[in-house]
């Protein structure tokens, strides 16, 4: 059975058994918090449990490394919608130790892409067209650096609501232990 068939089979039972009932909520976050974190598989359940977040508590955005790559891209757009229209009053950027974006380099990804069948000509064409793949497909040396970069980008965004606390945290993907590396309340006083 294919993965999607398994998912759909499960889904039929889930709905029939009304298992959704304990997840009912609305689109506004109860804790008025937005969490931006990494797509790492270890955080799928661990992070919400470790932060005591239940369905309905937060808006959550997941991107590789919890890094916002562009001030006018889809992540920042989502943040602005959450802040201005969905009652978000605090933001937490949560990076994690042992992140795949630590020392992640564009070249390694592009080499892999070519091995997988993407033509080198395509990559050359993109580079020649002025698309800065090197800058776009890059990681960070330390997770704290990535978190601070995202916090700074959000804080300095011209459309961000002034005074909103933006926290920076790092989570251990094994134990769920959180370290606060930037207290958003400190800079909003
Ligand atoms: Zn990660």
Q: CA-CA distance, 22 to 55, in Å (whole number)?
A: 9
H/E element, 48: helix 43-50
The partner residues of 36 in beta bridges, in order of sequence, read 61, 93
Between the CA of 137 and the centroid of ligand 1 the distance, in Å, is 14
Between the CA of 90 and the centroid of ligand 1 the distance, in Å, is 22
Strand order in the sheet with 58-62: 58-62, 33-37, 90-96, 166-171, 178-182
pLDDT (tens digit, 9 = 90+) per residue, 85-143? 999 999 999 999 999 999 888 999 999 999 999 999 999 999 999 999 988 898 899 99
Between the CA of 140 and the centroid of ligand 1 the distance, in Å, is 11
Between the CA of 154 and the centroid of ligand 1 the distance, in Å, is 19
Q: What is the mean pLDDT of residues 54-83?
A: 97
H/E element, 171: strand 166-171
Between the CA of 66 and the centroid of ligand 1 the distance, in Å, is 7
Question: How high does pLDDT run on average in the chain?
Answer: 95
Radius of gyration, alpha carbons of the chain: 19
pLDDT (tens digit, 9 = 90+) per residue, 161-188? 999 999 999 999 999 999 999 999 997 6
Q: What is the pLDDT of residue 187?
A: 74
pLDDT category at 48 given cuts 50, 70, 90 is very high
Between the CA of 94 and the centroid of ligand 1 the distance, in Å, is 10
- Which structural domains are found in the chain, ordered by start? 26-104+139-182 (3.40.1050.10)
Q: What is the DSSP string of 107-168?
A: HHHHHHHHHTT--HHHHHHHHHTT--HHHHT--BSSHHHHHHHHHHHHHT-TTSPTT--EEE
């Amino acid at each position: 059975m294919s993965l999607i068939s398994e998912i759909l089979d499960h889904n039929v039972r889930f709905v029939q058994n009304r298992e959704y009932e304990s997840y009912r909520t609305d689109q506004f976050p109860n804790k008025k918090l937005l969490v931006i974190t990494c797509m790492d598989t270890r955080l799928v359940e661990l992070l919400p449990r470790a932060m005591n977040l239940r369905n309905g508590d937060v808006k959550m955005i997941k991107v590789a490394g919890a890094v916002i790559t562009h001030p006018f891209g889809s992540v920042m757009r989502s943040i602005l919608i959450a802040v201005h229209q969905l009652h978000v009053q605090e933001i937490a950027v949560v990076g994690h130790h042992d992140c795949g974006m630590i020392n992640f380099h564009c070249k390694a990804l592009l080499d892999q892409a070519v091995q997988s069948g993407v033509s080198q000509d395509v990559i050359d064409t993109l580079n020649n067209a002025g698309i800065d793949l090197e800058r776009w497909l890059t990681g960070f040396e330390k997770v704290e650096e990535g978190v601070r970069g995202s916090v700074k980008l959000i804080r300095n965004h011209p459309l961000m609501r002034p005074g909103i606390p933006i926290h920076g945290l790092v989570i251990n993907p094994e134990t769920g232990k959180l370290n606060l590396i930037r207290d958003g309340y400190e800079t909003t006083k």
